[in-house]
Structure 1
Amino acid sequence: MAIDVKVWSDFVCPFCMIAEKPLLDAIAASGAEVELQWMPFELRPYPAETLRPEDAYLQSIWPQSVYPVAERHGVRLKLPSISPQPHTGLAWEGYQFAQEQGSGNAYNDRVLKAFFQEDRDIGDLEILTQLATEVGLDQASFRSALEQRRYRTQHQQALLLAERMGVQAVPTILIGERLFAGVQSEQTLLEALRQEAKG
């Protein structure tokens, strides 16, 4: 039986991109069958104002916290210049489409890299459609689904699960019944996966 792993995340959270690597490495090292789902936790849902990279908060937290953690985990990323930062609701609706097509993990990884490594506006429908196509999703179907907001209700329901689970920050990782808040080491996650595999 597959181990259920859920990760509450947001596409504009650099720590979520960093957390992806030790998690995927731990899953690979465990040899276990894992059902991995990325769960939405919008840090600043529309119409809330989003952060601006030129403001003091991001200018201070990236050198103090983000870059050192990224370096420890061997993850390359940079503070995106897009100002203000994009809202992520539409990108998450795209994730719901991708997940249904069996490409949720690939889409999640592609969107994170587009924002944090390529400085692309992941709130833009054209860019999201291009990214979806790059991971093998049908361009016309993806675009139509987002234009018609076909996954809006599904996305809202996924957001409610975070409330029910008591998730208050991202990344938060659920392995079986155990919640881990923040970026975790590969070893910590590997141990949790092995314990879960034992039942």
Structure 2
Amino acid sequence: MVPMPIVRMDCWADYVCPFCYLQMDTLDRFIEESRVPLEVEWHAFELRPDPIALIEPDGEYITSIWLKAVYPLAAERNLKMKLPPSAPRSRLAFETAFFSRTAGRFDSVHRALFKAYFEHGRDIGNKDVLLDIANECGVDQTALAASLAEQRFKTVIEDDEAAAGRLGVTGLPFVMLTSASDTARPQPPVVVRGVAPIEHMTAALDRLLAGGPAGGVRTSLKKRAT
């Protein structure tokens, strides 16, 4: 009997990227409906890491993106998103999410961060806000505060971003499917870029399992664009 193949799905995202939130439901459906087991891993990718200058949340660039792309896509996907009043750095949000993984609460915190920012306009660059969000998801605030103070996951975040650089990631979300079941005959990974329908995700999986070439969909947001 041929064993069921296992596929690894590595996802790079940023909590301040609206396209990453827009793609969440599609990824959920893809994982649920996948014909093979998926090992899912989320990775950090800061669109505007320090010392890159932050953008004005109500500036022409961001407003244009939301009017032309974000709001129409949100309507298609029944998401009640609104342009946040702040445009913070996301390093502390990643520190919070990765700490929550050690407490077995990553999924709930991961989703809560997106929802807090894009639906409720909360400043996820603010430590106190992050502590509140994590606490609402069952994460110990005292332990998280200590972790944030010592930047416990600084190296993990930087390693994620270094890996993204090697892969040529320039836009988000970025999903890479890799065969995890046949290490003796590794298949080339297949990449899906940007806000893609589930049909594109399924086609990418089919290409991987068939041993086809790597492929992409489209990029929705450039890193550090101004």
TM-score between both structures, scaled by the size of structure 1: 0.90
Q: Distance in 1 between matches of 2:124 and 2:171?
A: 21
**What corresponds to 1:10 in structure 2?**
14
Percent identity over the alignment is 31
Query: Quick check: 1:116 aligned with 2:128?
Result: no
Q: State the SS of the aligned residue for 2:171.
A: coil
Q: Which has the larger radius of gyration?
A: 2
Q: Which fold has the larger relative contact order, with Cα–Cα distance below 8 Å and residues 6 or more apart in sequence?
A: 1
Query: Quick check: 1:151 aligned with 2:163?
Result: no
Q: Distance in 2 between matches of 1:96 and 1:49?
A: 25
Q: Distance in 2 between matches of 1:178 and 1:61?
A: 28
Q: Distance in 2 between matches of 1:166 and 1:81?
A: 31
Q: Distance in 1 between matches of 2:92 and 2:67?
A: 29
Q: Distance in 1 between matches of 2:207 and 2:48?
A: 35
Unpaired runs of 5+ residues, structure 2, are 179-188, 212-226
Indicate conservation of the 8 Å contact 1:91/1:128, yes or no. yes
* 1:139 alignment partner AA: Q
Q: How many residues align?
A: 197
Higher helix proportion (structure 1 or 2):
1
Q: State the SS of the aligned residue for 2:129.
A: helix
Deviation at 1:196, TM superposition (A): 5.0
**What corresponds to 1:78 in structure 2?**
82
Indicate conservation of the 8 Å contact 2:191/2:204, yes or no. no
Query: Quick check: 1:38 aligned with 2:42?
Result: yes
Query: Quick check: 1:65 aligned with 2:77?
Result: no
**What corresponds to 2:199 in structure 1?**
187
TM-score between both structures, scaled by the size of structure 2: 0.80
Equivalent residue runs for 1:42-53 within 5 Å: 42-53=46-57
Equivalent residue for 1:106, pick from 108, 112, 116 = 108
Unpaired runs of 5+ residues, structure 1, are none
Equivalent residue for 1:167, pick from 166, 169, 182 = 169
Indicate conservation of the 8 Å contact 1:10/1:40, yes or no. yes
Equivalent residue for 1:28, pick from 32, 36, 41 = 32
